[in-house]
A and B are shown apart, each in its own frame.
Chain A
Amino acid sequence: MVKQAPVGAHYGLRDWLLQRITAVVMIIWTLFFAGLLIWCPPQGWADWRQMFTGNFLRPLTLLFIAALLYHAWIGMRDIWMDYIKSTALRLTLQASTALLLIFYFIWSVAILWG
């Protein structure tokens, strides 16, 4: 019988790296979007809609959201791991976080392609 808490499966380095890769994706999107808002701000609803449903910003935004959600997953998991000592409660919070993030991703696809 292996008595081991479901932690410490050596995915630390991979997640550490992915947290940084997703950060770089978000930096690029943020600078790009800020530039868009500054240099060609959308005039009215039609522009706004065109901006997000156009074939340029739409996939980029979904990529940003995917990076954001994965980044948030690692960050929140770290926070739960640091402060929640009870394994049962921590796993519950981690699972809720993961489910919420998956929900957000599906919602984002529905928003952008809806």
Chain B
Amino acid sequence: MVEILRHLRNMPYFSCQTNLPSLPMSSSDAKPARQRPKYYDLNLANLPAPGLLSILHRITGAALFLILIPTLLFILQQTLQSELDFQRWKAHLGHPMAKLILIGFIWAYLHHFLAGIRYLLLDVHVGIDKVSARSSARAVIAAGFIGAFLIGVWLW
């Protein structure tokens, strides 16, 4: 995957070029808009922190909808309906693999939660300038991982 990205980045189409405009054209000899090279930096590591936070917010949101909602509803239904099922699910969730998956989803929820609070604050113009927006994005990404780790330790 990294190789593909690197390859794409080295292709002229993707490489960074500044487009210094040539002499301004007068409207009389206007040609069809010329093809400008596009530059996509496909390396996520070069994405500014707010961008990374944003795409993680979207990915975690989709995962929470596609997987977590039906799974949790199913588990809630099972555990509420009889004591036997409750004990069974308690045993299932005590399994190390289940705990790892659970911690993964706790991270997804926590990231979505914290990033969402950051967006709510941005909506009311708290921390809207570039410097604080970038540092709050870094803080939220870090807090998501640290929080998930701590909850994981507590669960284990």
Contact B113 A104 (CB under 8 A): no
* A99 → chain B closest CB, angstroms: 14
The yes or no answer to A94 lying at the interface (CB within 8 A) is: no
Tell me whether A27 and B83 are in contact in the complex, defined as CB-CB below 8 angstroms, given that A75-B65, A108-B73 are known contacts.
Answer: no
Complex Cα distance, B67 from A104, in Å, reads 13
B-chain residues with CB within 8 Å of residue A107 when the two chains form the complex? 73, 77
Contact A52 B62 (CB under 8 A): no
List the interface of chain B (C-beta within 8 A of A).
58, 61-62, 64-65, 69-70, 73, 76-77, 79-81, 83, 86-87, 113, 116-117, 120, 123
A-chain residues with CB within 8 Å of residue B80 when the two chains form the complex? 48-49, 52-53, 111, 114
Tell me whether A48 and B62 are in contact in the complex, defined as CB-CB below 8 angstroms, given that A23-B116, A111-B77 are known contacts.
Answer: no
The yes or no answer to A45 lying at the interface (CB within 8 A) is: yes
Tell me whether A20 and B86 are in contact in the complex, defined as CB-CB below 8 angstroms, given that A53-B80, A111-B73, A111-B77 are known contacts.
Answer: no
Complex Cα distance, B80 from A72, in Å, reads 25
Complex Cα distance, B77 from A27, in Å, reads 23
Q: How many residues of A contact B (CB 8 A)?
A: 24
Q: Which residue of the partner chain B has the closest CB to A82?
A: B58
Contact B73 A104 (CB under 8 A): yes
Complex Cα distance, B134 from A67, in Å, reads 29
Contact A27 B113 (CB under 8 A): yes
Complex Cα distance, B80 from A49, in Å, reads 6
Complex Cα distance, B113 from A106, in Å, reads 25
Q: Which residue of the partner chain B has the closest CB to A30?
A: B113
A-chain residues with CB within 8 Å of residue B69 when the two chains form the complex? 68-69, 72, 104
